[in-house]
Amino acid sequence: MENKRKNKEFNPNNCPVTHFYNKVGGKWKTVIMYGISIDVNRFSLLQKAIPMISKQMLVNQLREMEEDEIIERTIYAEIPPRVEYKLTEYGKTFMPVLMTIQDWGLKDMALKN
């Protein structure tokens, strides 16, 4: 059974911001992308780095990002098998946006303290 995302293609006004959120919106994808960008690149490492995410949600988000060609998965022929994730060239194009959001968040959080 194929898991269909509700909002992947929903963009009735052809809005570029909606397009962005359709790719990486939600609670976890940007956090996962950031982790992978700093070499938190294995499933178990991501689980430890993001303890609030359920195993199934992490699986689903990784699959969606792989389907959208934001990340790629490499399976190493070892015993036990090892799987690593990395950002694709396309996935790397999101990082300047995420860094800008991070900078804003840091500044805003500093103002609140």
What is the spatial distance between Cα 30 and Cα 98, in angstroms, rounded to a whole number? 7
Query: Do 46 and 40 meet the contact criterion of CB atoms below 8 Å apart?
Result: yes
> Is 84 a domain residue?
yes
Task: Give the model's confidence band at 5: pLDDT under 50 very low, under 70 low, under 90 confident, else very high.
Answer: low
The residue behind tokens 């499933």 is: 43
> Is 8 a domain residue?
no
> Is 67 a domain residue?
yes
Q: What is the pLDDT of residues 9-27, one digit of tens each?
A: 788 888 998 889 888 988 9
Domain that holds residue 55: 16-112
> Is 3 a domain residue?
no
Total number of domains constituting the chain: 1
| Residues whose CB falls within 8 Å of the CB of residue 57, separated by 6 or more in sequence, listed in order | 28
CA dihedral angle for residue 31, residue 34, residue 39, residue 42, rounded to 10 degrees: 30
CATH number of 99's domain:
1.10.10.10
Instruction: Report which secondary-structure segment, H or E, holds 87.
Output: strand 82-87
> Is 43 a domain residue?
yes
Does this model's pTM top 0.75? My answer is: yes
> Is 65 a domain residue?
yes
- Indicate whether 75 pLDDT > 50: yes
